[in-house]
Amino acid sequence: MIQTMLDLINKLYKLRTCNLVLSKENIEKKKFRLCLEYHVGNCLGPCENLQSKENYDATITGIKDILKGNINTVISHLDGQMKEHAAKHEFEEAQLTKEKLEILEKYKGRSVIVHPTIHNVDVYSYVDELNSAFVNYMKVMSGAIVQSFTLELKKKLDETPAELLSLAIAELRQRYEGDAKEVLVPFEPELEIPGVQFVVPKIGDKKKLLDLSEKNVRYFMKDKMEQADKLNPEHRIERLMTVMQKELRLTEKPYHIECFDNSNFQGDYAVAAMSVFKNGRPSKSDYRHFNIKTVVGPDDFASMEEVIYRRYKRMKEENLPFPQLIVIDGGKGQLSAALTSLEKLELRGKISIIGIAKKLEEIYFPGDSLPLYLDKKSETLKIIQQLRDEVHRFGITHHRNKRSKGVIKTELSDIKGIGEATTETLLKHFRSVKRIKDAKLDELTAVIGTAKAKIVQEYFKKAE
């Protein structure tokens, strides 16, 4: 909004950018010459009296009115100016003024209309972050939002939100020469301004205004964060780790996270998988598959207990660094099973662990019966969801491979004298068991040799 307003001013007015002392005496003595800004059309040349002081002062007044949000005042002034030029038959000047009016009307039409009865109201919203506070200021005139700006305040001491909001209001009212008698705020600031009423709206159009102002803050914070991340990837990592540590109540930043999931097909081919994120990104070389060894039948809890025990028993024996966070894909039951293994290994409390339920994205903590619900837009939740998606993808691939090997075993591996390598060679060449059955002896011989070809052909003949 503020950039749009500056663009508007640049279209309407030509301002000098020099710092020359344009006193009447200096201009009369012709101490200055027109510079390039004049020749390219960015200045009207007050230094050689090509623009009068009265005209220049009127320009400054117009700019101040626009910055204050008094668009109607500027429109009224320009309309009178246009009619005056027309009355004097100054048609070129009248046309230029008309074009300015059209620009202003177009800008006014694009302004967010809130309610025609809301006039000359200031709105301030407040959002707190770790080391900064952000305050958005909106100016509402004649039912339209004509100005918006977001200010960042760096925290130096243990300032309260009320103190920080007060500092922001004082600075922004002075910067934009605010004169509104009604100021909408999310909470009462520690500030008194004579003749000004602070209002904390709860419902209605004024509450919607406050909500819109808060959205402006969050968009500003998001843009600022994305720019900082692009310029400095290490900053992104540290910021993300700090956010995750705070939102998941961790004792340390989760630079290394491991996520587990298990699956089976009608009780058979039970497998588990582990995805790994380091510095907030997938570390695919660290992903692992697990074939369930000690569990019979479809028992997710027992399978999870086995996998967690095997994983961290090995890490403990090999003196490998543990992750800062373990994520279990499942609710209380899977989390309890994982905790059982950590207790056996005397690792409970030494590694942070959480469970995530699939339906409502509930985060479960050990010993806490009530789940945590993270904001759907939370970066922490997105990382956990990515971990879960990765472990699903990786686990399903392994599961399918194991199931397909199970089918191969029942079809071909019962043939005495034909091992896994020969079976794989046959399937790669013929693509299916049916084609192997239908193949002629010379075709089989060309792939696996005479002796094995005869064994395969004789087996299928007997089977028929």
What 3-state class would DSSP assign to 257?
strand
- What average pLDDT score do residues 395-420 get? 64
Render 294-327 in DSSP notation, one character per residue.
Answer: S--SS-HHHHHHHHHHHHHHHHHHTTPPPPSEEE
Residue with tokens 């609710």: 331
Kind and range of the H or E element at 167? helix 161-175
- What average pLDDT score do residues 170-184 get? 88
* Sign of CA pseudo-dihedral 276, 277, 278, 283: positive
pLDDT in tens, 120-131: 889 999 998 878
Tokens of 149: 């700006």
pLDDT in tens, 63-95: 887 766 677 788 888 888 888 888 888 888 888
Q: Is the pLDDT confidence value at 397 over 80? A: no
- Position 303 scores a pLDDT of 87
Alpha-carbon distance of 322 to 27, in angstroms, equals: 77
Render 87-156 in DSSP notation, one character per residue.
Answer: HTT-HHHHHHHHHHHHHHHHHHHHSEE--TT--SEEEEEEEE-SSEEEEEEEEEETTEEEEEEEEEEE--
Provide the pLDDT confidence category of residue 115 given band limits of 50, 70 and 90.
low
- Position 254 scores a pLDDT of 95
- Position 266 scores a pLDDT of 43
Alpha-carbon distance of 286 to 277, in angstroms, equals: 9
Tokens of 68: 């204050």
Q: Is the pLDDT confidence value at 218 over 80? A: yes
Q: Is the pLDDT confidence value at 134 over 70? A: yes
What CATH topology corresponds to 249-397? Nucleotidyltransferase; domain 5 (3.30.420)
Q: Is the pLDDT confidence value at 362 over 60? A: yes
Q: Is the pLDDT confidence value at 2 over 50? A: no
Q: Are 279 and 309 in contact (CB under 8 A)?
A: no
Q: Is the pLDDT confidence value at 406 over 80? A: no
The residue count of the chain comes to 464
Provide the pLDDT confidence category of residue 3 given band limits of 50, 70 and 90.
very low
pTM of the entire predicted model: 0.51
Q: Are 423 and 406 in contact (CB under 8 A)?
A: no
Percent of the chain with pLDDT over 70: 89
Angle 223-17-22 (CA atoms, 0-180°, nearest 5)?
A: 150
Segment among 49-53, 229-233, 327-331 with least mean pLDDT = 229-233
CA torsion angle 46 51 57 60 (round to 10)? -80
* Sign of CA pseudo-dihedral 57, 63, 67, 69: positive
- Position 265 scores a pLDDT of 45
Segment among 91-100, 112-121, 285-294 with least mean pLDDT = 112-121
Q: Is the pLDDT confidence value at 262 over 90? A: no
pLDDT in tens, 291-344: 877 776 667 888 899 999 999 999 999 999 999 999 998 888 899 999 999 999
CATH class of 412-463: mainly alpha
20-29, 201-210, 309-318, range with greatest mean pLDDT: 309-318
Q: Is the pLDDT confidence value at 403 over 60? A: no
Alpha-carbon distance of 163 to 121, in angstroms, equals: 21
Alpha-carbon distance of 6 to 303, in angstroms, equals: 63
What 3-state class would DSSP assign to 306?
helix
Question: If one looks up domain 121-228 in CATH, what number appears?
Answer: 3.30.420
Count of other CB atoms within 10 angstroms of residue 96:
14
For residue 319, count CB atoms less than 10 angstroms from its CB and return exposed for 0-12, middle for 13-18, buried for 19 or more: exposed
322 or 22, greater pLDDT: 322
- Position 408 scores a pLDDT of 47
- What average pLDDT score do residues 147-152 get? 86
Count of other CB atoms within 10 angstroms of residue 46:
22
**Strand spans (E) along 304-382:** 325-329, 352-356, 362-364, 372-373
Q: Is the pLDDT confidence value at 56 over 80? A: yes
Closest CA to 327 of 284, 364, 378, 374: 364
- What average pLDDT score do residues 239-266 get? 86
- Position 343 scores a pLDDT of 94
Query: Are 249-397 and 412-463 in the same CATH fold?
Result: no
Q: Are 198 and 112 in contact (CB under 8 A)?
A: no
Q: Is the pLDDT confidence value at 263 over 80? A: no
Domain boundaries, the chain: 2-111, 121-228, 249-397, 412-463
- Position 123 scores a pLDDT of 92
Provide the pLDDT confidence category of residue 405 given band limits of 50, 70 and 90.
low
- What average pLDDT score do residues 379-394 get? 90
Percent of the chain with pLDDT over 90: 27
Q: Is the pLDDT confidence value at 399 over 60? A: no
